[in-house]
Amino acid sequence: MDLSSQHPPLSTCPVSLTINGQIRNFDLHPWVSLLDLLRGPLELTGTKKGCDHGQCGACTVLVDGERMNSCLKLAVSLDGAEITTIEGLGTPDDMHPMQKAFLEHDAYQCGYCTPGQICSAVALLKEGHAHQRHEIREAMSGNLCRCGAYTNIADAIEEVLGTEAAASVREAAE
Amino acid sequence: MLNSSKVVGLPLPRIDGPLKVTGRAPYAAEHFAPGMLQGYALCSTIATGRIAEIDTSEAERMPGVVKIYTHENRPKAARRDEKWKDEVAVPGHPLRPLENDRILYDGQPVALVVAESFEAARDAAALIRVRYEAGEPHTDLFREQANSYVPPVLRAKDMAPPSPRGNAEAAFAQAPHQISAEYSIEGEYHNPIELFGTTAIPAEDGSLMIHDKSQGSQNSHDTICKIFGLNPDKVTVRNSFVGGAFGSGLRPKHQLFFAVMAALDLKRPVKVEMSRSEMFYLTWRPSCIQTVSLAADEQGRLQSVMHHALEATSRYEDYQENVVNWSGLAYKCDNVTMSYEIAKLDVSTPGDMRAPGAATGITALEAAMDELAYEVGMDPLELRVINFVHRDQNQDKEITSKALHACYREGAARFGWSERSHEPRSMREGNELIGWGVATGIWEAQMSPAEARVSLSAEGKVVVSAAASDIGTGTYTILGQLAAETLGVALSEVAVEIGDSRLPTTSVEGGSWTAASSGTAVQVAGRMIIATLLKHARKMDNSPFAKATEDQVELSDGRLVLEANHQLGVAVSDIMGEAGLTVIEEHAKVEPDKAIQKKYSAYTHSVVFVEVRVDEELGQVRVTRVVDAVAAGRILNPKTARSQVLGGVVMGIGMALEEEGMVDHRTGRIMNHNIAEYHVPVHADIEDIEVIFVDEDDDKASPIGVKGLGEIGILGVAAAVSNAIFHATGSRIRSFPITIDKILESETMQ
Ligand code: FES
Ligand code: FES
């Protein structure tokens, strides 16, 4: 993608990112955050901007499987990384289990913090530290929800955690 | 009257949910057009004074910058106040961005940079040099008490406190039990997670498409057309998805003006998205100082209620809200005096924030009721029960319905209130002091005029259209449910189009009135479709409807049937086929019933029970349990309804313990203008919240029995938390938010 029409004062760097399974090559100005790359030129607006300062978690995406505030990452620093955004987790017709659980538990209202909450929750389960509700709450505290859907979000995560645990018990037994 | 095929009242997931949870719902700043420019505002760093000099030369040299707007080169816009006043403006002179060199509040926009990229615009803004002549700021409400006044022009007729009844002073003096206390609440900031943003896209034919973060597309539309003298038919404002607002999106914000100004001037699409710090410079819940005096007889019956409030407003507008009037109607009392004043500060104009006025006033009233309960020596819940009132004594009207006793009963049972020990500081576990508090909530059940268009096709597809907004409230879903049920189709057959200024007229989404108003319009339009179908069906050969009236028929599974006998009916497709129609469309216009309004007042009610645990050494408060029992008439969707209340409770916990704009009064600037330092509740702060909807039939508050839920959830929460803290610690802390420092300094925690 050619972004040189933007005449920035700095020269560009080549960066290669795998975004939602697709390899993309860019010549990027160093001052572009991953968040602004996604939300701007790439038009992947499922990743939200709530503060641009690492305070709200709305911009959470998965970078090599780990949750990260994309506003705090310069895109050029991620050469070779694999990035999954909310769009890559599922589609309206084929939702990720976490997306389904959010829908079922009404774990959102305005929906603006939601992609960040979901990406964060998906990574949280993979991290494997959160087993109980208070641990979920603690480990999700970087994702603010001004609509106050917290209890429903915890319910949704608990449900997915439960089914995943059940599935791994089944697997182990087989 | 609704169809028997049940859709309304079911806890269905939101119909806009799949788009939201997969990141496909586009919000205001998430629209694109070729050649789009980005705008970034620079905000003032003084609270009052003037711009002596503004130098943009260095910023202009930043590659990518297209144009920088300041008061020295701003394109022409309307000058008269009238043109700047939006649908919900308050008395005064609305702020016109970049109009002149005057600075009226911290963070007022002083320049807009428009550039080819966001990064260039942002960095260029940092290169603008502004020299200010700063005046002396007045931002401390306590110090401005001497300059308070009764608003000379009322924002709305019913905003003024009712005239006194009885003799509150004398009754107070004679009563055996009296309390009188001052309560203060710091300013709060709405801080929806979505930043305010606008995308303005001009087209070749001179038309303009605007995506705006707003609680009313038509309010933004009409206001921006007046400001720039645009042909209203050529301008569209959309707000299909709104990332929260809580009142902050009721009045258009400066980014709308900026995006449209630059798009018109540069003839290119322009997007302006605010920064988080800018979100602190828009509007706020005003800081407030209140005095409440209550007196009761030996049995706890209220003898006197006196409530005075002083709130902040800006230099340029007289914001007002109903803080004290609630005290005249919450409980039975024949001697009542209430008064309300405002004082000007060098701040941005305050605005409505979730349950405006009530959240502030009821916090003080309900904290005072708790103090009175302890003064009388009775259970705080019992005190409320014995002062129950069936009438609106303020307006001397009947109340349409008030299932508050059921709230008290069911809430108390669920919470286990009867296990409470009355003495403060009498419950503990380990190093935590446990406290249980209670408070009542009340909000007006309002309905506003609204229109809606509904169509039904021969195949049974339904389209609902109205310029309503869904700010997270569930509007999409409940309008869909009402249409589905009225027209006897599944919810999946209904498409809901809202958030577009071209659609049928709807007021801004606020005051909890959307469900009652737009919901009624949708149902009426649906019934009009049935009437039209009936008219055509009657003409058919051997029509079973020859003698049927509109009230006797309904739609069920694609057939027009007799309500009394569903066997008798005709397929909608046959009726339309015979009449030569493929679709029937009706447009309904509804408004509140004046005759009912004359006789009745309508309110939602709630009671909130709270458990707190206070760490004895650290002073840290945890809100471990909340039960909120709500009487709000008919619940259209228990799932989304519950979420509305949960959200209110969470914001109430923020109000009680965390939220405060901290102003450095020497400079008049907000110090914590970010969401790391302006604390809002996070996951870790929110434990168990239970919501109960008690049964309440009401055929007067609105034709569909709905009272609205956007505000009631927050009401009573801050007071219940503070009452629980008293119960836990034995200290009354009357300044909100009740932060750890105040707890540690309180008498009983030393
Ligand atoms: S936008 Fe990245 S944390 Fe808020
Ligand atoms: S759903 Fe609105 S901020 Fe979380």
Nearest CA among B549, B552, B516, B524 for reference residue B535: B549
Answer yes or no: do B457 and B571 share one domain.
yes
In this prediction, residue B750 carries a pLDDT of: 80
> Is B575 inside any structural domain?
yes
Report whether pLDDT(A169) > 80: no
Answer yes or no: do B402 and B520 share one domain.
no
In this prediction the ipTM stands at 0.97
| Domain end call among B275, B296, B326 | B275
**pLDDT for B456-482, tens place per residue?**
999 999 999 999 999 999 999 999 999
> Is B435 inside any structural domain?
yes
Answer yes or no: do B410 and B555 share one domain.
no
Q: Which residues of B are catalytic?
A: 711
Length of chain B equals 750
Q: What is the CATH number of the domain that holds B196?
A: 3.90.1170.50
**pLDDT for A99-123, tens place per residue?**
999 999 999 999 999 999 999 999 9
Residue B473: nearest ligand to its CA? 2
* Amino acid at site B135: G
The rounded radius of gyration (Å) of the Cα atoms in chain B is 27
B498 interfaces chain A, CB cutoff of 8 Å: no
User: A137 and B686 in contact by Cβ < 8 A?
Assistant: yes
Structure tokens at A105: 């538990």
Q: How far apart are CA A36 and CA A69, in angstroms?
A: 12
Dump strand ranges (E) for B508-547: none
Query: A156 to chain B, minimum CA–CA distance in Å?
Result: 12
In this prediction, residue B3 carries a pLDDT of: 44
Answer yes or no: do B257 and B350 share one domain.
no
Answer yes or no: do B197 and B271 share one domain.
yes
In this prediction, residue B510 carries a pLDDT of: 79
| Domain end call among B534, B556, B591 | B591
User: A106 and B686 in contact by Cβ < 8 A?
Assistant: no
Nearest CA among B577, B487, B496, B574 for reference residue B525: B487
Q: Report how far Cα B452 is from the mean position of its chain's Cα atoms.
A: 22
Q: Which domain holds residue B247?
A: 31-136+192-275
Answer yes or no: do B120 and B269 share one domain.
yes
Q: How far apart are CA B542 and CA B539, in angstroms?
A: 9
In this prediction, residue A9 carries a pLDDT of: 55
Answer yes or no: do B227 and B359 share one domain.
no
In this prediction, residue B33 carries a pLDDT of: 98
Report whether pLDDT(A4) > 70: no
Residue B275: nearest ligand to its CA? 1
A95 CB neighbours in chain B (<8 A) are: 18, 21-22
Q: What is the CATH number of the domain that holds B652?
A: 3.30.365.10
Nearest CA among B495, B563, B492 for reference residue B534: B563
Residue B243: nearest ligand to its CA? 2
Q: b/e per residue, B435-455, with b = 16+ CB within 10 A?
A: bbbbbbbbbbbbbbebbbbbb
Answer yes or no: do B306 and B266 share one domain.
no
Nearest CA among B621, B174, B677, B575 for reference residue B435: B621
Q: Ligand 1: list residues with CB < 6 Å.
A: A 49-52, 54-59, 69, 71
Mutate to test the interface with B, among A83, A146, A150 (most CBs of B within 10 A): A146
Q: What is the mean pLDDT of each run of 10 residues along chain B (750 residues)?
A: 70 98 98 98 98 98 96 97 96 97 98 97 97 98 97 93 97 98 98 98 97 97 98 98 97 98 98 98 97 98 98 98 98 98 98 98 98 98 98 97 98 98 97 98 94 97 97 96 96 97 90 88 97 95 89 93 92 96 97 95 97 97 98 97 98 98 98 98 98 96 93 98 98 98 92
Answer yes or no: do B464 and B413 share one domain.
no
Contacts of B189 (CB under 8 A, 6+ apart): B279, B280, B284, B285, B659, B661, B678
Q: Is the Cβ–Cβ distance between B329 and B346 less than 8 Å? A: no
- The three-state secondary structure class of B273 is strand
Answer yes or no: do B470 and B438 share one domain.
no
For domain A1-89, say whether CATH 2.40.37.10 is its number.
Answer: no
The DSSP code for B440 is E
Q: How far apart are CA B659 and CA B191, in angstroms?
A: 11
Q: Is the Cβ–Cβ distance between B28 and B34 less than 8 Å? A: no
- The three-state secondary structure class of B597 is helix
According to DSSP, the β-strands at B583-590 and B450-457 are antiparallel
> Is B48 inside any structural domain?
yes
- Span between the terminal Cα atoms of chain B, in Å: 61
Place of tokens 């008490």: B145
Domain range annotation of chain A: 1-89, 90-174
User: B683 and A113 in contact by Cβ < 8 A?
Assistant: no
In this prediction, residue B382 carries a pLDDT of: 98
In this prediction, residue B5 carries a pLDDT of: 59
Q: Ligand 2: list residues with CB < 6 Å.
A: A 108-114, 145-147, 149; B 193, 244, 472
User: B64 and A138 in contact by Cβ < 8 A?
Assistant: no
Length of chain A equals 174
- The three-state secondary structure class of B339 is strand
Which one has a higher pLDDT value, A173 or B433?
B433
Q: For every residue of B124-170, which 3-state class applies, written as one string?
A: HHCCCEEEEEECCCCCCCCCCHHHCECCCCCCCHHHCCCCCECCHHH
Answer yes or no: do B68 and B178 share one domain.
no
Counting the structural domains of chain B, the total is: 3
- In chain A, the percentage of residues whose pLDDT exceeds 90 is 86
Please work out, in degrees rounded to the nearest 5, the angle formed at the alpha carbon of residue B9 by the alpha carbons of B6 and B12. 90
Sort residue B282 into left (φ over 0), alpha (ψ -120 to 50) or beta.
Answer: alpha
Answer yes or no: do B465 and B354 share one domain.
no
CATH class of A90-174: mainly alpha
> Is B60 inside any structural domain?
yes
Cα of A114 from ligand 1 centre, angstroms: 13
Residues 105-134 of A with CB under 8 A from B: 106, 108-115, 118
Q: How far apart are CA B563 and CA B549, in angstroms?
A: 11
The rounded radius of gyration (Å) of the Cα atoms in chain A is 17
Report whether pLDDT(A8) > 60: no
- Which of B19, B245, B686 minimises the CB distance to A92? B19
| Domain end call among B556, B591, B626 | B591
User: A95 and B116 in contact by Cβ < 8 A?
Assistant: no
